[in-house]
């Protein structure tokens, strides 16, 4: 059984490396929707929420999982925290290193998250759109071990209840359109994810749906759509269909 699990993990890692190479051959930030005016605003808000959820500040030692091309790493680094940013894709990390972030603050490492034991413990573990690439129970157990007691995890992940996210993950014929979605990734339903976090031993679990601003929204419509999105995020039923989930939890002291 263990050998079967190991072989699945190795196969999935190989798929992710190949997918990273495919993304690097194009424009990863454009593929992920971060390059448009609306996408840049989404990225900035997402980064701010992750920073806030982890309480990032100068003097903290932080692990960023799945840093990719470093788009969010650069934003996280503005907090002053010392960041070890890992990704399985050497091709995406080549782009991340081209940002020339200060090496005494940010260290990019080509490594599987599962192999990060020697780098910890950490004050916080963070990431954007990465947990849904991983085996969730194993990943949460690993994050728990890597955190110092009282340390926080803070992530933003796709919401499975969002219609586009659901279509990307559930209908294989849609992969021609959403080619940037890898074959192994999924998305989360927040109450199921909350149960998994509690089962893994975390407390102070909070998962909040957010993000109604689609990357394709024209510049002139961004204020209108953003305003409407904030209203929808406050409505009990409507908010469940937002594009993303904000995830915060703590390793108990």
Distance CA(111)–CA(23), nearest Å, equals 18
pLDDT band at 175 (very low <50, low <70, confident <90, very high): low
108-134 CB burial, b ≥16 within 10 A, e <16 = beeebbeebeeebebbbbbbbbbbbbb
Angle at 162 between CA 160 and CA 167, to 5 degrees: 75
Instruction: Name the token pair of 190.
Output: 């927040």
Q: How far apart are the first and last CA of the chain?
A: 34
pLDDT, tens digit, for every residue of 51-88? 999 999 999 999 999 999 999 999 999 999 999 999 99
Nearest Cα neighbor of 43 from 13, 71, 4 is 71
pLDDT, tens digit, for every residue of 6-57? 666 677 777 777 776 777 777 888 888 899 999 999 999 999 999 999 999 9
Task: Write the CATH number for 157.
Answer: 3.40.50.150
Provide the domain limits for residue 114: 2-250
pLDDT, tens digit, for every residue of 112-153? 888 777 677 999 999 999 999 888 999 999 999 999 999 999
Length of the chain counted residue by residue: 253
Distance CA(5)–CA(14), nearest Å, equals 14
CA separation (Å) from 23 to 17, 83, 171, 185, 224?
10, 24, 21, 15, 32
Name the helix (H) or strand (E) containing 156.
strand 147-158
pLDDT at position 4 is: 44
- Provide the domain count of the chain: 1
Angle at 34 between CA 131 and CA 44, to 5 degrees: 80
153-188 CB burial, b ≥16 within 10 A, e <16 = bbbbbbbbbbeebbebbeeeeeeeeeebbbebbbbb
Q: Is 128 helix (H, G, I), strand (E, B) or coil?
A: strand
């Amino acid at each position: 059984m263990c050998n079967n699990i190991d072989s699945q993990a190795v196969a999935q890692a190989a798929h992710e490396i190949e997918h990273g190479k495919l993304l690097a051959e194009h424009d990863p930030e454009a593929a992920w929707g971060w390059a448009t005016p609306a996408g840049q605003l989404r990225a900035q808000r997402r980064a701010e929420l992750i920073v806030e959820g982890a309480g990032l500040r100068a003097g903290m030692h932080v692990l960023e999982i799945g840093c990719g091309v470093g788009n969010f790493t650069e934003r996280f680094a503005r907090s002053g925290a010392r960041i070890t940013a890992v990704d399985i894709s050497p091709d995406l990390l080549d782009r991340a290193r081209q940002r020339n972030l200060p090496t005494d603050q940010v260290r990019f490492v080509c490594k599987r998250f599962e192999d990060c034991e020697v780098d910890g413990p950490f004050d916080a573990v963070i990431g954007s759109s990465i947990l849904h690439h991983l085996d969730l129970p194993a990943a949460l157990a690993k994050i728990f071990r890597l955190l110092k007691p009282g340390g926080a995890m803070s992530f933003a992940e796709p919401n499975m209840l969002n219609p586009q996210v659901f279509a990307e993950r559930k209908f294989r014929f849609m992969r021609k359109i959403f080619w940037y979605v890898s074959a192994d990734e999924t998305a989360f339903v927040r109450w199921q994810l909350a149960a998994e976090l509690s089962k893994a031993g975390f407390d102070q679990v909070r998962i909040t749906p957010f993000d109604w601003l689609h990357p394709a929204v024209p510049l002139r419509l961004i204020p209108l759509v953003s305003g409407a999105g904030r209203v929808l995020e406050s409505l009990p039923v409507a908010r469940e269909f937002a594009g993303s989930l904000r995830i915060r939890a703590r390793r108990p002291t």
